[in-house]
Structure 1
């Protein structure tokens, strides 16, 4: 891929974590590794994009999509991608602090913490894949007016049946090797599983960034350990159930992208998510699989691009309407309070009439 221009930084994860044993000690503070990408044609009035990765991968898994979006000459100010606490560079930063009992919505809180610490400007769009899709939706529910838009690619936010592939994968992932004698041995293992279907540019970038040699060791390790992956998947029943209950509180316009041949989410998940969200458009990519961000990034970018253009246009229209009524805002607020009081008085009068009616019958 053409080289992306980016800088790295570190922010603090949300604290405290939702579950006691998400960290070794209750006072442990986790950190998040962040990449900040700047388009060659930076639009100072454009969108700030924040990308959340799927389970087992890391922030660089989105880079090919980011590059392709930049090439579309979209109104983008900045693109940001971060590693969740047990993944990628964040896992290395948090070594010795990570526990076994997780809640995925902590990733939603981490996204909001990142926005606050970096003081990111609006309009903001969050884009998440799989686990990251569910966490993005959770953040939209937790802070309902923060985001101008949200993109969920194969978002995991609908409960799995007890016999789903995720249940067996939790056990399987605990036994995945994460330490190797050489980088080539690590690559050979990764190619033996789903990485062999990844776009070559995506795959090569991941091989360059997801492996490291710990200090004082001649071994090569995956930054995201097998134990952390097992903890992540074992948390899925509670985590996904919680995220699904949050969906009615999402007011943000959402684009859901589903893969036609995916068997990761339940078959009814795309329709159920779309019907639960108040402002949602859905796209299904025929013959695509769950890892479509990594396998066919050009298709994903071609779908996301137009949504981003519409999102910024909608945001600008809303800002124009706000500006048009700014001088009348005091009157609008007064009228709102008057209508509120009138409504409360009507309810009180109705309650009084019902109470008198019941008393008269006695």
Structure 2
């Protein structure tokens, strides 16, 4: 599996005053990008590539590598590997490699809404957006699921669809304060059970395999995490995500769950909500509450006999539960946001999308929108001319085409 790593900047502002050590600190976000082993049927410009790009957001206490068994299973299936071009997985600002990069920047306040701001900044920093003409799907687990949901509220056009796996986006206190979790008992348990420093590799492996939160994980996930969770310093093995980062993350959720849940009402893209049939971490009414808030854009799947950490404990079941939604997401994007067929002036269907025209190569050599319009007119001249003469608001299409039509209309009025 071809993989590359990189670093991109997070959000430039934080919700909490003391979220960073210095006010002008900006967190670094370490990421891996995994490339599909399947070659596209024909050369395609980035903004006309109909394959999906995925962005993965992890849960508290783990890091980007725990997605790798799921990614491998997706790429092993031609039905998915053939429609996905790239998969990006990054570490939350206080976790994993991001946590190491930011260890002298992270303050003592946390708010989960900032994780969503980081996700938006991450995508923008890498030029990932459904506005670019290629579908982009956000997939998150627990903390990461909430991150994806609220990011879609902050930037409604960023994603094509969302997969939220056991998202922490509903608290019983929203409807009944008596049903809220006791945060002090949770934090006491974490402080007493988590370890983040070990005298030797043997000491670390013994803890990892027998005592840690990672012990129940699937063997494939443990293989991906065993050596990537720790680093060596001063002759010791230290966990990249220390105990305080776990604790701070959970505290941060208390300040944001209500806002995340209320934001669900503003999500207008297909959203798959996956619940573990045996999960007990979230409030028992979470599935019903989130489905009610999402309305017609929401789809709920209950995966039997799996718990809250299904991504790590049941990667096969998790990967398979998402497959059909990914296929539907691509079809939905093509049918609703696809490119105009130059012969008919209509949006092509998902069945014949791959046979659409290839624009003149000169189109991609121009930098300014005005130049692109002039070059592009030769390819879709008939459809564009019709749009300029009439009302183009009803014509869906890539963002660049909408801009081209708007600019052409503006020129016509001069």
TM-score by length of 2: 0.76
In the alignment, structure 1 residue 178 sits paired with structure 2 residue 178: no
Aligned residue for 2:408?
A: none
Aligned ranges 1:1-362 → 2 under 5 Å: 4-43=1-40, 44-73=49-78, 74=80, 75-120=83-128, 121=132, 122-161=134-173, 163-164=180-181, 167-175=184-192, 176-190=194-208, 191-214=210-233, 217-278=234-295, 279-320=297-338, 324=345, 327=384, 329=387, 331-332=390-391
Structure 1: gaps of 5 or more residues: 337-362
Worse-matched range after superposition: 84-93 or 190-199: 190-199
Counting matched residue pairs gives: 331
Structure 2: gaps of 5 or more residues: 41-48, 174-178, 347-382, 396-414
Task: Give distance in 2, aligned partners of 1:82 and 1:335.
Answer: 37
Q: Report SS of the residue matched to 1:84.
A: coil
Q: 1:315-354 deviations in whole A, cap 9, x for unaligned?
A: 1111347663564545335899xxxxxxxxxxxxxxxxxx
Task: Give distance in 1, aligned partners of 2:306 and 2:27.
Answer: 35
RMSD: 2.0
Task: Give distance in 2, aligned partners of 1:79 and 1:42.
Answer: 15
Q: Could you tell me how far 1:167 is from its partner in structure 2? A: 4.8
Q: Could you tell me how far 1:118 is from its partner in structure 2? A: 0.8
Task: Give distance in 2, aligned partners of 1:38 and 1:143.
Answer: 26
With over 3 angstroms needed to count, the CA separation of the structure-2 counterparts of 1:272 and 1:212, relative to structure 1, is same
Task: Give distance in 1, aligned partners of 2:27 and 2:188.
Answer: 26
**Is the CA contact 1:52–1:127 (under 8 Å) kept in the aligned structure 2?**
yes
TM-score by length of 1: 0.86
**Is the CA contact 1:54–1:128 (under 8 Å) kept in the aligned structure 2?**
yes
Task: Give distance in 2, aligned partners of 1:95 and 1:219.
Answer: 17
Aligned residue for 2:358?
A: none
**Is the CA contact 1:149–1:254 (under 8 Å) kept in the aligned structure 2?**
yes
**Is the CA contact 1:170–1:231 (under 8 Å) kept in the aligned structure 2?**
no
